Chains A and B, each alone.
Chain A
């Protein structure tokens, strides 16, 4: 892995291990992949911890490229003021939430934020509509018709909206997700 310039210090590694669900190898591997996305002159340790990578570069990694929610994922984890780039710590946060050992609670929390397209804290009809369109792919012919969409969203709200206010809030979402056996195993990204 090259000289001392491209290695993380032990204390930093230990701290990251305390703060995330990743193992040491995964953190080191994440650091390597992140550095590759930076321009040549900024690939040493100090700069890599400070620099930010723009969305286009992050979305070019194969693990995210095929994901229909890739922009939302980047937006949710970004701490930049304009929310258009990721730092290394944001990247680690992302990997930690999507790792194997993360608790279902934290996964469902972040899933809710990813699905909340307008960032208003609830999933309303508009959010659900955009969510379904993401899942059915890009082409015109694969998207659902308006009546099908309406029926689908009606059914979803019927099932999950406990207090009948027309939106799904975080606790309702977590209640639905916690009963699903597929969620934890499919909500994973591994570098």
Chain B
């Protein structure tokens, strides 16, 4: 009772009264509620449950206080409405997810290696090669994540492959592998949880049954506090109503079907061209960047060094505007045009990402080939060193021990570090392009419109260019794809979640400022989806698509022989087998080996497929039952209403009616109809005793249904008239 009082729609005074009475009752009868021997135990239980309730409430308060940026988002909600604010809520949610990933990678991979691993300079893999030493600390080199940045905990290549490190015997290679898998698993769980929570909100997906009702009852956004936004909202609602009404009224007049179809085909053709061109550009840029990597870094300008990242970011920036332009040809309703645009941008970004990965795979294969040569060279080099050492010893029997400085050891090309570096560079350049775009596109444009308006021929604020509107879908897509890159790269560069945290943090402040300062609320708001599941669905797809290459690389490519925690193994996942052999009792290893028997795995897969099919069928059945019940409810309500009306009216009749005069019934038809409002005269009244008592059934002349009878009694004059007639 106490828990439910807040759910009742009563006035506060009533609620307070009820609550105080209930509490008094509970506290007075507490002792009596528990009987006899169990009294003390019962009192104890009550006290514990009260304390637990209080603890839960305090914890909820604490959690609500911990959520960051609440005020900023509220200010944006009140100025722009809930759709723009939904982008920032999404950003905040991503920040939370990335925070967890960062904590995992930092505390379980980077920190142990830093604290307990061998320090910089002790192993070849941890030292900058002699050739690069001079320039290792230059800003240009560090910005490229070469030099000192490359040989640090930020990247895969720094980690040693010793099985345990430090006094805790921390198993670093195992932890590295497991954390990588856990990050992917956690991301899946959290995205799926968010999606299933939103499915409940969807309400079963009755898309068009309540179109107008929803427009009227649910369209106002109560979060709006800014009068200008409110005006915009009024306009958009009015336009919405008018459109819906005219759509309802007239069928669409097809102006020129063939022309429109041709134009749409043309637009799609251009779009394909653009997608193909962008894919080719990226492939070419990646190839060129590998050529540049072979050359001497000093001969390259800034553009050559950053060409590939710039190309990818610029493509991501300009192609959507091109798509917008092509969409002018198509002449769709704005909502449909938005969906097409989103689809095309998604295809563009996805295509870019995969071309990038393909080019990367090319490079990885090259590096693996190169590794074989380097391995062969190293054996020769070692043989030479030993010969030289023996030669130097021949003169002097007790010489210094054989020592080669780690910086002088020839290195293999570490393909994992290269992959990590590419992703980190891409992320950084993406951040920079986004910020520069916002500064130039939004801020400078707003300044120009504001200040040059005084001395310009036409009104800049209302015509072109005017202030920019906040592009929700573009920003959300960019966020989703950046997250995809993080998921792909974080196995090879454990620092990537940390870099992303920094990026999201600054992005929040920067974009909040930009939105409040330079953007105006949208004139018409179109939501891409009914619930937020559209964007979460895309996120899930990207998560799936970005973990596939990583898993492929883990499972099928051999790790480098001289860098990283898996060096020396044939495949990266062998670390699991090794741990099972050495650290677990032998019976456990035997059991697990049995479990990975192919027959068992196939059986499990079959069972899962059957479960999915069964659940699908159950869901369909329940939906059908739902529809059925709805129909029944409607029919039942109708019947009840009819019955109630008849009962009420006939009861009123009988109070003022005399017994039927059979003379009236024997009158000819035309005379009957000459009576005033004759169609409304009841010809006979039947008394029927049923189990519910008296049920009055009335019928009328000509069989006209008696819906004319209003709820409640007939008016006295009419009742008198009928009693006179009958």
Contact = CB atoms under 8 A, between A and B. Distances in A.
Interface of A: 15, 17-21, 23-26, 62-63, 65-69, 79, 89-90, 92-93, 96, 98, 103, 105-106, 109-111, 115, 128, 131-132, 135-137, 142, 144, 148, 151-152, 155-156, 159-160, 162-165, 173, 176-190
A186 B65 contact: no
A96 B9 CA distance: 11
A21 B7 CA distance: 9
A144 B216 CA distance: 13
Given A151-B245, A151-B248, A177-B218, A156 B203 contact: no
Given A18-B19, A105-B7, A159 B224 contact: no
Contacts of A17: 57
A63 B78 contact: yes
DSSP majority for the A interface?
helix
A164 B206 contact: no
Contacts, number: 178
Contacts of B248: 151, 155
B219 interface: yes
Contact of B222 (A148, A165, A187): A187
B9 A65 contact: no
A101 to B, nearest CB: 9
B456 interface: no
B50 to A, nearest CB: 11
Contacts of A20: 6
Greatest chain A CB density within 10 A among B5, B6, B231, B634 is at: B6
B64 interface: yes
19 contacts: A19-B12, A25-B64, A132-B216, A135-B241, A137-B235, A142-B234, A152-B216, A152-B245, A155-B245, A160-B210, A162-B633, A177-B217, A179-B203, A179-B209, A182-B530, A185-B201, A187-B218, A190-B77, A190-B223
Contact of B219 (A24, A135, A137, A181): A135
Contact of B242 (A65, A137, A144): A144
B226 interface: yes
Contacts of A15: 16, 19
A177 B339 CA distance: 26
B677 interface: no
- Top 5 A-B pairs ranked by shortest CB distance? A137-B234, A89-B12, A66-B230, A179-B203, A155-B212
A160 B637 CA distance: 13
Interface in B531-561: 531
Interface of B: 2, 5-9, 11-13, 15-16, 19, 57, 60-61, 64-65, 74, 77-78, 82, 201-204, 206, 209-214, 216-227, 229-231, 234-235, 237-238, 241-242, 244-245, 248-249, 527, 530-531, 633-634, 637-638, 640-641
A181 B531 contact: yes
B19 A189 contact: no
A63 B682 CA distance: 59
A180 B641 contact: no
Given A66-B227, A183-B214, 13 more contacts: A25-B61, A65-B227, A68-B220, A135-B238, A136-B234, A142-B234, A152-B216, A156-B213, A180-B214, A181-B203, A182-B527, A182-B530, A186-B222
Contacts of A89: 12-13, 16
B610 to A, nearest CB: 32
Most buried by B among A131, A184, A187: A187
Contact of A152 (B57, B221, B226, B241): B241
A89 B78 CA distance: 24
A21 B9 contact: no
Nearest to B214: A180
A23 B64 contact: yes
Q: Quick one: which of A15, A21, A111, A185 has the most chain B CB within 10 A?
A: A185
Contact of A186 (B7, B78, B210, B223): B223
Given A25-B61, A66-B230, A164-B641, A183 B217 contact: yes
Given A19-B15, A63-B78, A151-B245, A111 B61 contact: no
A189 B213 contact: no
Given A137-B238, A179-B206, A186 B216 contact: no
A162 to B, nearest CB: 5
A169 B432 CA distance: 56
A103 B218 CA distance: 16
A90 B245 CA distance: 39
Nearest to A104: B201
A134 B203 CA distance: 27
A18 B6 contact: yes
A19 B1 CA distance: 11
A187 B531 CA distance: 15
Nearest to B529: A181
A106 B8 CA distance: 7
B637 A162 contact: yes
B225 A65 contact: yes
B216 A156 contact: yes
B78 to A, nearest CB: 7
Contacts of A92: 12
A144 B640 CA distance: 36
